[in-house]
Amino acid sequence: MSVIKAENISFVYSPGTAFEKKALDNVSFEIEEGEFVGIIGHTGSGKSTLVQLLNGLLRPSAGKIYLDGKDIWEKPKKIRNVRFRVGMVFQYPEYQLFEETVYKDISFGPGNMGLDEEETDKRVRKAAEFTGLKEELLEVSPFDLSGGEKRRAAIAGVIAMDPDVLILDEPTAGLDPLGREALLSQIADYHKVRKNTVMLVSHSMEDIAAIADRILVMAKGKKYMLDSTANVFAKGDELEKLGLKVPQVTKIMMMLRKKGINVDPAVLTVDQGFNEILNCLSAR
């Protein structure tokens, strides 16, 4: 059974007003337990709206969302439980740090869930470790952390709730290339160990190329495709038409193919591209 199922969901902001805006239009998909799914799409394609619907922050204007087969809005008063199970890291989450110490900030979520001190402590330390936050930083003020460390602390706060589904909305936005890479590999490592479902929103295909099992491509509020990462990358031309920047290595493969050189276009990393070209040369 799928862990998350979206069935014909639509979402309209400010319905019935002059500002009415249909952000999602009849979107359906299923996500299996343990999958790592990337969500890509141009700005305004509906990614943020979609993920806020998945954890019950927004309620669909039409359609249903199921968590483990149960309609999440069946009992609206219980929606808090959905938010505990589907953990959400917002864009620029570091702006939500507000406690005196990093420790207190990370323990805020588990505390809210009613966990005792011992369990909370375990979770805080584990979450800090998962996100690569050094133990000694737990006792400092979050405002004394660097930008990258603040981001990690905020992510650790959601991981500490141990969600079955972890959703991250543009977790690498604003980080430098090294910081981006480090954070992504930490998220990938977390997923490998915890084996939960992770959904990562990004406008960069490059970010998710090496880590996602499948990619959901959004365009103008609709599901454009949901397929394996390799199959999505193989459609680089279409993605470019949607205004998505395909990684340079994928672009090189696309150009080689146009020149009649029979390389596999579904290349995700520079290493794979290198091997693909080598194979092609030795086959000649």
Q: How many CB atoms lie within 10 A of CB 226?
A: 19
Q: Which stretch binds ligand ADP (CB under 6 A): 46-54, 234-242, 247-255, 260-268?
A: 46-54
Q: Which is nearer to ligand ADP, 222 or 257 (CB)?
A: 222
Instruction: Give every strand in the sheet of 2-13, ordered side by side.
Output: 21-32, 2-13, 62-67, 70-71
Q: Rounded distance, CA 197 to CA 187, Å? A: 12
> Considering only residues 3, 4, 6, 23, which one is a binding residue for ligand ADP as defined by CB under 6 A?
23
142 binds ligand ADP (CB under 6 A): no
Residue 235: which residues within 8 A CB-CB, separation 6 or more?
225
> Considering only residues 35, 36, 37, 47, which one is a binding residue for ligand ADP as defined by CB under 6 A?
47
Q: Which stretch binds ligand ADP (CB under 6 A): 43-51, 96-104, 132-140, 252-260?
A: 43-51
Q: Which is nearer to ligand ADP, 56 or 265 (CB)?
A: 56
> Considering only residues 2, 10, 12, 13, which one is a binding residue for ligand ADP as defined by CB under 6 A?
13
Q: Which is nearer to ligand ADP, 14 or 262 (CB)?
A: 14
Contact code string over 50-89 relative to ligand ADP, x by CB under 6 A:
----------------------------------------
Q: Which stretch binds ligand ADP (CB under 6 A): 40-48, 55-63, 229-237, 263-271?
A: 40-48
> Number of residues in contact with ligand ADP, rule: CB under 6 A?
12
**In whole angstroms, how far apart are CA 145 and each of 133, 134, 161?**
10, 11, 22
Q: Which stretch binds ligand ADP (CB under 6 A): 44-52, 62-70, 148-156, 171-179?
A: 44-52
205 binds ligand ADP (CB under 6 A): no
Residues near ligand ADP (CB under 6 A): 13-14, 21, 23, 41, 43-49
